Homo-oligomer: A and B are copies of this chain.
Amino acid sequence: MNTGPARGMRDFLPEEVRRRQYVIGVIADVYQRYGFEPLETPAVENIETLQGKYGEEGDRLIFKILKRGEGAGTGQADLALRYDLTVPLARVIAEYRAKLPKFFKRYQVQPVWRADRPQKGRFREFYQCDVDAIGSKSAVVEAELCAAVSDVLLELGFKDFEIVINHRQILSALLTGAGVTPDRHGDALIALDKADKVGVAGVDMDLEARGFDLATRSNLIAAFGSPYPPDWSGWNVKIDESGRAGFENLREILRLAAKTSAAPHMRVEPTLARGLSYYTGAIFEIKVPDLAGSLGGGGRYDNLVGMFSGEEVPASGFSLGLERILVVMSERNMFPPTLATTPADVMVVQWFANRTDLYLDFASSLRAAGLRVELYPEAPDQDGKKVGDRQFKYAGARGVPFVAVIGADEDAKGTVTVKNMKTGEQTSLPRANVAAHLKASI
């Protein structure tokens, strides 16, 4: 009998859950400080809601749920598992329009499911942490998104991250200016997006392979090969109206972000393109050294959220990759030492067979003080072994830092012996002082 989780899925044992909850907690706290509100949608959506939204490849990767009741046995599906958090957001905005504020700022941290081929670091159930501001085209939105993401990463202990930024309107103008027709923009962008990995020569080869002629390739490499100038009016590059507006918008975002914690982390990268086709304005990616991919990314997508309502709804957002953040934090040992990694702060020993009520009473008093307390469940007569052997070993093996003993002496004097399992040090304390002593020690 196979007792493992399903292929590409994971069980999270306690230590891993604590780490995940810690990171999710930081993300939620920071986003709330920026006025983003939590949203949750069901894991299961009507299949029509999802199908046709993620391209052909995406459609194939959707987990579909068999009809039940009258439809049982037909082999047809009427429901499907959430594939991302953006389509459900669009659905929610169409459904609750009247209830939601004009500027709806939401974050959502929930699992999504994709029937991808599992491989190292790629799972079929994984969490997305999305933060999106709906309803405004102001550059304040992007500046605050960068600041919020920056605060998340700083609070998690990242110092060396970059928020790489670019702008779809500039990209589009540069491509048009270089002679690429709109239907070939996507193709050219895929090649240019790899510049940070393959260099100029690599991009040129890729463009050639994709059928771009020498003149266009030279134009492209000239346009994208140098940093953007501080002011487009002095730019020696053809750029249309929309491109100029994009350039102004990018400058405004950077000017505002300079007033936030994101300031030292912003970097403009003319070849950053992002894969998804739906972006319409600023685009972002978060990079850290020694990680091939990114920790997250996002951008403005003014034509997507209105898909269900038929109206144009401006929107801009970031998605953080929880699984990647966890991998990097584990590799770099970034979890705070104060993060509880033990099942309890203290274990209360059952020294005598017939004093369980005393030990439970004592454990209750420590719990009332807010401590995490394990009471060894079995009294020594049930164990049939010497107390010291078994119970102390158990606490040690579980990594519980302190053990509290009330034996004959302690009982007579109203004291407790507290043993520090790391140092072996034993302290005798009046019973009423144990909670304060432990709280000061952990």
- The chain A residues found within 8 Å of chain B, CB to CB, are 1-6, 9-14, 17-18, 20-21, 32-35, 37-46, 48-49, 60, 63-66, 68-69, 74-77, 79, 81, 91-92, 94-96, 99-103, 105-106, 111, 113, 115, 124-125, 133, 135-141, 143-144, 147, 151, 255-256, 258-261, 308-309, 340, 343-344, 347, 350, 356-357, 360-361, 364, 367, 370-375, 377-379, 382, 394, 397-398
Contact = CB atoms under 8 A, between A and B. Distances in A.
Given A33-B367, A34-B367, A137-B382, 16 more contacts: A1-B308, A6-B49, A9-B44, A10-B42, A14-B37, A17-B37, A34-B373, A43-B81, A44-B113, A65-B81, A75-B76, A102-B394, A136-B377, A144-B360, A256-B357, A256-B360
Given A136-B377, A136-B378, A373-B33, A39 B65 contact: no
A375 B260 CA distance: 13
Oligomer copy total: 2
A4 B41 CA distance: 11
B103 A42 contact: no
A9 B81 CA distance: 12
Contacts of A135: 377
A372 B29 CA distance: 9
Contact of A35 (B10, B309, B343, B350): B343
A423 to B, nearest CB: 22
B60 A39 contact: no
Contacts of A308: 1, 3
B375 A35 contact: yes
Nearest to A262: B364
A140 B14 contact: no
A11 B92 contact: yes
Contacts of A4: 95
A64 B66 contact: yes
Task: Indicate the member of A3, A49, A106 with the most B CB atoms within 10 Å.
Answer: A3
A43 B140 contact: no
A43 B43 contact: yes
Contact of A38 (B21, B41, B379): B21
A13 B99 CA distance: 9
Contacts of A38: 14, 17-18, 21
Given A94-B3, A259-B364, A360-B260, A43 B373 contact: no
A439 B222 CA distance: 54
A65 B66 contact: yes
B68 A40 contact: no
A350 B260 CA distance: 17
A69 B17 CA distance: 31
A147 B39 CA distance: 33
Contacts of A260: 360-361, 364
B41 A11 contact: yes
A357 B259 contact: yes
